[in-house]
Amino acid sequence: MIVILKPSIDTQSAEYHYTLNALQGLPGIEVKLNSTQGTHEVVHEIYLIGDTEHISKDNIEALPGVARVIRISTQYQILGREQNNRQEFEFEYNGVVFSQNNLNVFAGLCAVDSIDTVEDMMKSLQSFGQTCTRMGAYKPRTSPYAFQGLGKHCLPYVFEKAGKYGIKVIAMEVTHARHIEEIMDYLQQAGNPTGVMLQIGTRNAQNFELLREVGSQKTFPVLFKRGYGITLTESLHAAEYLAHAGNHNIIFCLRGVKSLFGPPHRNMVDFAHVPVIRRLTKMPVCIDPSHSVGTLDQTPEGLSDIFHATAQGIISGANMVLVDFHPNPPTAVVDSRQAIPTSDLDWFLEDIRIARNAFEQRAALAQKRLNS
Ligand code: PEP
Ligand code: MN
């Protein structure tokens, strides 16, 4: 059950405390508070977790400070979207808005390899008005002998360059709770010139301890990548771990699944699930065409499979694109076969605009039919 408080409520006020005390007194019910900064106002919600069937919705609605109550029947108690609930769910982080109604592009380096590539990449992003990127510092690799990422050593210049080139949010994978502290410390030392979105990689999708650690901090939003060897339902439950630990600013990323039927792509692309996530949950949906497709092979008109998969995800409403670029792909130390050269960034962004416009036209047509 979600209790939505009045938008103007003062969390120091008597009505707020009265309502909270009443809810905390409900036997056998766990109470979780969440405040989200939307574009217009702060939304205060209280989640009642447990067996809420016997609780009267009317009684809760009668408490002072309560605007409305939503009974949750979905298994994803915090992130789930009730059937026919068109409620918008958005959050703002470091000036960037994330929601199921917009689109953010995070083009950048799969792995940070040098200060020069970081600078080149960010300069290109700025020249095309981009304020978000991806930068892998901690790399989970299949072989212990492969390059493991520069880790905390690259953070000072990654953050400094981000500030210099107006980058507001960097998606960065963490594989250990210690990395959260490192990122926080280095950001602070640099004077907080940018923001970070903590990424949970596909290999850690069911690392419940890590999910709890990442979910229990509220400084950074989280990009959760679906597990590549588990069902979508299992991945959604895993994302719910983050929310249950306290952080609701979560983006769910589709990145393909391991399958014998995937090749010649690296993974079986799962972007047909974009509408499923938008329907079942309130989370903005990200697509990662690089790690799912994995090659830059092209169709006869000169569009790579990565461009095609990106367009396919966006035309069905994806809200974020996480994609590998590199100023000089053959020299990239990780995943060089899937990195798009930064010289194609303008083309990629234009292709995305075409696909997003097509989605918006499709959505407008659907609305017109529904309202007629
Ligand atoms: C990545 O985005 O750098 C990455 C390793 O992705 P995934 O966890 O999806 O394999
Ligand atoms: Mn990679």
DSSP code per residue over 144-159: TTS----GGGGHHHHH
Q: Of the bound ligands, which one is closest to the alpha carbon of residue 286? A: 1
| pLDDT mean over 132-156 | 97
| pLDDT mean over 59-79 | 90
| pLDDT mean over 326-343 | 97
Using CA positions, which residue lies closest to atom 5 of ligand 1?
A: 201
Looking at residue 72, its pLDDT comes to 82
Largest CA distance in the chain: 67
- The residue type found at 97 is V
Contact 194, 125 (CB under 8 A): no
Angstrom distances, CA of residue 170 to CA of 141, 142, 250? 20, 24, 14
Dist CA 329 CA 341 (whole Å): 6
Helix ranges (DSSP H) in the chain: 14-24, 57-61, 115-127, 155-164, 177-189, 208-215, 232-244, 274-280, 289-293, 305-315, 345-371
| pLDDT mean over 187-212 | 98
Mean pLDDT lowest among 45-49, 177-181, 265-269, 366-370: 45-49
> What tokens appear for 7 in the block?
């938008």
Q: Of the bound ligands, which one is closest to the alpha carbon of residue 333? A: 2
**Band of the pLDDT at 25, cuts 50, 70, 90?**
very high
Looking at residue 23, its pLDDT comes to 95
**Nearest atom in ligand 1 to 335's CA:** 3
**Nearest atom in ligand 1 to 225's CA:** 9
Using one digit for the tens of pLDDT, what is the confidence trace for 201-258?
999 999 999 999 999 999 999 999 999 999 999 999 999 999 999 999 999 999 999 9
Nearest to 223 by CA among 114, 309, 323: 323
Contact 226, 232 (CB under 8 A): yes
Mean pLDDT lowest among 2-16, 17-31, 84-98, 151-165: 84-98
Using CA positions, which residue lies closest to atom 10 of ligand 1?
A: 202
Looking at residue 84, its pLDDT comes to 72
Does position 94 have pLDDT exceeding 90, yes or no?
yes
Looking at residue 308, its pLDDT comes to 98
289 pocket-lining for ligand 1 (C-beta < 6 Å): no
More confident residue, 315 or 83: 315
Collapsing DSSP to helix, strand or coil, 280 comes out as helix
